[in-house]
């Protein structure tokens, strides 16, 4: 089949998929296209004159992509991105397909890619810049084990073209190791604010052994999860000196944060509209990516300041006259930073926690027992739990020490949302902590009520 015919058929699939209401057709057209033309990604990617930037991590892909998009937009570049949730090979192919029909043509690709799908996507896309941010324990039933992903990434990095620039998190030992001994250009980023330190490694900390020699790692400073100023207790591996480093991080409650970042090209200073230390990492990663692309620091700060939250990631909505914030929490590390962020609100807390166990969430819900929910207990005014596995979440809080009478279980998400909103005092915020598909379900309700925009409009 000719290239033109393949593209036309695949586009028709996209239109049909959208008309049938199958979630915006963000993956199906690419799947069809790759079936007909296995080399489609390589061909279409060659049509992007400035190449592609690819972002992968367990946590923070979507928010970081949004921040990088703002930097690219500030340069006036026409950016082709993939929507969050369409981050496998088929999603990237669909985005490239859509981009090839756009006039004027997009100049640069910006793709967030699932950490498991990344090696195959990178092999085909041959990215100009590859941003790798973190590896946390996530959805073990789908991925096998953390070490296996780190091994797959290491093999991928060896096979990348020599001119691919790596942007690596110096504070994550498994990610930083990927830059060890390479001759290609590496831009390391990290957080260097001495006040951004936890008293100890949290329970869910992963990767506390050296990737090189398996000896235990030691930390002079822990910033988040297993990330911080680390060194191996046996061999010469230690945190590389970051090129792009956040020298001051000021958390501004549950609404945002202020950053001062030192870069080789000059300082960047910006308020960012997403809260919590994890978003300080995301914004620093975005700044490092922008530096790798040659964007001037004077443009990066205002661009970071102009970006708003991605859907479901600290997304603030007004529904039925009340305020709710959606904070996606899909694995222990992500949920831990979400808990820490919610605790920045000084008022008694109203929480809606939604736990699903579908494929995109991970079928194994045991991860909720690795989350440190305990600090919420003395601050909780009301807890509502919902989702396919609502009772598992109820047990998590009851065995943390919450009276079982104080947990409201409503398996249907819409009923749970209504009950939680109805119980919310005036002027307070409802914090919603959903897993991925639970977040999509709740957002559908919000879209129907005019409180949020459909996700495929959000790219």
Partner 1 sequence: MAVLRVCHLYPGELNIYADRGNIAVLRRRLEWRGHTLAVTEAGIGDPIPADHDLYYLGGGQDRDQLVVARDLPATKADALRSAMADGAVLLAVCGGFQLAGHGYTAVDGSRMPGIGVLDADTVAGPTRLIGDLVIEAELEGERRRVVGFENHAGRTTLGPGSVPLGRVVSGHGNNGTDGGEGAVTGRAIGTYLHGPLLPKNPWLADTVIRWGLEHAGGAAVTLDPLPDDLEESAHAAAAARAGVRR
- Positions in the binding site for partner 1 (CB under 8 A): 137, 140-141, 144-147, 203, 208-209, 214, 357, 363-370, 388-392, 394-396, 398-401, 404, 407, 409
What values do phi and psi take at 107, rounded to 5?
Answer: -100, -30
CB of 424 to partner 1, least distance (A): 24
CB of 383 to partner 1, least distance (A): 13
CB of 366 to partner 1, least distance (A): 4
CB of 42 to partner 1, least distance (A): 31
Q: Which residues pair with 55 in a beta bridge?
A: 112, 131
Q: Residue 444: which residues within 8 A CB-CB, separation 6 or more? A: none
CB of 99 to partner 1, least distance (A): 36
CA distances from 155 to 29, 114, 136, 208, 370 (A): 29, 16, 19, 21, 30
Choice between 154 and 395, CB closer to partner 1? 395
Choice between 262 and 385, CB closer to partner 1? 385
Element containing residue 351 per DSSP (H, E): strand 349-354
Choice between 146 and 424, CB closer to partner 1? 146
Choice between 398 and 451, CB closer to partner 1? 398
Choice between 123 and 363, CB closer to partner 1? 363
CB of 214 to partner 1, least distance (A): 6
CA-CA distance, 383 to 404, in Å (whole number)?
Answer: 11
Which of 394-399's residues contact partners 24+ apart within 8 Å by CB, and which partners?
396/368, 396/369, 396/371, 397/373
Choice between 147 and 381, CB closer to partner 1? 147
C-alpha torsion 267→305→350→327, nearest 10: -90
Give the residue from 85, 194, 83, 64 showing the smallest Cα distance to 129.
64
CB of 411 to partner 1, least distance (A): 9
| Dihedral angle sign, alpha carbons of residues 21, 22, 27, 33 | negative
Choice between 355 and 439, CB closer to partner 1? 355
């Amino acid at each position: 089949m000719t290239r033109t015919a393949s593209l036309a058929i695949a586009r028709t699939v996209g239109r049909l998929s959208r008309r049938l209401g199958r979630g915006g057709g963000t993956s199906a057209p690419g799947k069809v296209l790759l079936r007909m033309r296995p080399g489609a990604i390589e061909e279409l990617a060659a049509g992007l004159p400035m190449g592609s930037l690819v972002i992968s991590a367990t946590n923070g892909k979507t928010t970081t992509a949004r921040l990088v998009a703002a930097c690219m937009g500030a340069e006036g570049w026409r950016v082709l991105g993939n929507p969050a949730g369409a981050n496998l090979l088929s999603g990237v192919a669909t985005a490239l397909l859509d981009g090839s029909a756009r006039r004027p043509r997009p100049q640069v690709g910006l793709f967030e890619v699932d950490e498991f799908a990344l090696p195959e996507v990178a092999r085909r896309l041959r990215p100009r810049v590859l941003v790798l941010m973190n590896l946390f324990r996530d959805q073990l039933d789908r991925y096998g084990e953390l070490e296996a992903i780190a091994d797959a990434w290491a093999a991928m990095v060896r096979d990348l073209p020599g001119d691919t620039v790596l942007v690596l998190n110096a504070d994550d030992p498994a990610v930083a190791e990927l830059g060890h001994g390479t001759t290609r250009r590496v831009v390391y980023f990290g957080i260097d604010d001495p006040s951004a330190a936890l008293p100890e490694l949290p329970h869910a900390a992963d990767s506390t052994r050296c990737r090189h020699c398996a000896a235990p790692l030691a930390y002079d400073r822990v910033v988040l999860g297993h990330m911080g100023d680390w060194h191996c207790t046996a061999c010469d591996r230690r945190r590389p000196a970051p090129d792009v480093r956040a020298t001051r991080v000021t958390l501004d409650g549950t609404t945002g944060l202020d950053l001062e970042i030192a870069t080789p090209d000059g300082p960047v200073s910006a308020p960012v509209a997403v809260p919590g230390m994890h978003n300080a990492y995301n914004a620093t990663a975005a700044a490092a990516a922008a530096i790798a692309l040659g964007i001037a620091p004077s443009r990066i700060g205002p661009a970071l300041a102009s970006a708003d939250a991605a859907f479901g990631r600290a997304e603030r909505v007004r529904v039925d006259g009340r305020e709710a914030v959606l904070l996606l929490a899909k694995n222990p590390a992500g949920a831990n930073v979400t808990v820490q962020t919610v605790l920045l609100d000084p008022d008694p807390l109203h929480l809606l926690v939604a736990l699903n166990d579908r494929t995109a969430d991970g079928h194994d819900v045991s991860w909720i027992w690795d989350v440190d929910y305990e600090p919420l207990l003395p601050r909780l005014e009301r807890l509502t739990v919902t989702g396919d596995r609502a009772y598992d979440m109820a047990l998590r809080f009851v065995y943390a020490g919450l009276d079982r009478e104080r947990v409201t279980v409503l398996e249907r998400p819409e009923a749970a949302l209504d009950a939680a909103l109805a119980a919310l005092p005036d002027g307070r915020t409802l914090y919603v902590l959903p897993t991925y598909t639970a977040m999509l379900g709740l957002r559908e309700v919000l879209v129907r009520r005019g409180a949020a925009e459909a996700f495929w409009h959000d790219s």
